[in-house]
Amino acid sequence: MKIDWRGKAIEVRDIGTGPTVVLVHGYPLDGGMWSGVARVLASEFHVVKPDLPGRPENPAPPDGKIETYADFLAAIVAASQGPVGVAGFSMGGYAALALLRTRPAGISALALLDTRASSDDAEGRAKRDEAIAAVETGGPEAVADAMVPKLLSEAARAKADVVERVRRTILRQKPETLKSDLTAMRDRPDQTAFVREITIPTLVIAGALDAITPPGPARAMAESIPGARFVEIPEAGHASPIEKPKAVAAALADFFRASLPG
């Protein structure tokens, strides 16, 4: 599908027919991370898997603000027909929450995968600054070296094809895009109070072996959202949609099937 955003015509990946589900990628990845999940969901949904600004499929310049990423997602929602479900992974979850808080029109269901509502504390912000410095000196290669062990479980890291796919995705990102992501995550607002006010159907998913956003805090976040469901993906690390696409797709399909009018 094609959208117009801030004066730029942007082609957004989509597949399938049915109610629209927008899959929002995380750092330091792009919309291609959702390929396995999207193929399954496309049997009954119109699946949109955009690149956030600054990535290969999105020429719009990034500006280091989660709110800008949310604004881009709002343009996709506005261009979609009928009620829309949004699923955000990691940084994509931050963008999805910002979207729901500031531009909720048209969004009927929300899924949050391997993410959190809280903002970075002082230690977390310092680590973002260190990562920005690493990008400036080592480029995407430094990010790939640092992030692959964090994104993937030990079992996934033993699979050369999975590691190569993740590394290849990271290496095709521009340094300025990675710095924008890190700045946006560092400076994002705290959403812990907001999630208690969410009134649409919500699903929280976490990999059982996620070391970045562990299942315990994810379950607690789900418990703070009125009526939310929680699903833990066995044997998955942080990048659960990449490691266990069928299990993640099954959870999302069950949720959106019940939450979005057909």
Quick: pLDDT tens for 16-62: 999 999 999 999 999 999 999 999 999 999 999 999 999 989 989 99
Alpha-carbon gap, residue 89 to 72, rounded angstroms: 16
Three-state SS string over 141-152 comes to HHHHHHHHHHHC
Q: Digits of tens for pLDDT over the chain (262 positions)?
A: 999 898 888 999 999 999 999 999 999 999 999 999 999 999 999 999 999 999 989 989 999 999 999 999 999 999 998 899 999 999 999 999 999 999 999 999 999 999 999 999 999 999 999 999 999 999 999 999 999 999 999 999 999 999 999 999 999 999 999 999 999 999 999 999 999 999 999 999 999 999 999 999 999 999 999 999 999 999 999 999 999 999 999 999 999 999 997 6
Decide if 88 contacts 73 (C-beta within 8 A): no
Domains and CATH numbers, the chain: 2-118+190-259 (3.40.50.1820)
Tell me, what's the pLDDT at 32?
Answer: 96
Tell me, what's the pLDDT at 262?
Answer: 67
Tell me, what's the pLDDT at 8?
Answer: 84
Alpha-carbon gap, residue 213 to 216, rounded angstroms: 8
Which DSSP symbol is given to 88?
A: E
By C-alpha distance, which of 228, 196, 192 is closest to 112? Answer: 228
- From residue 109, alpha-carbon distances to 163, 182, 229, 258 in Å are 32, 27, 12, 10
Tell me, what's the pLDDT at 81?
Answer: 85
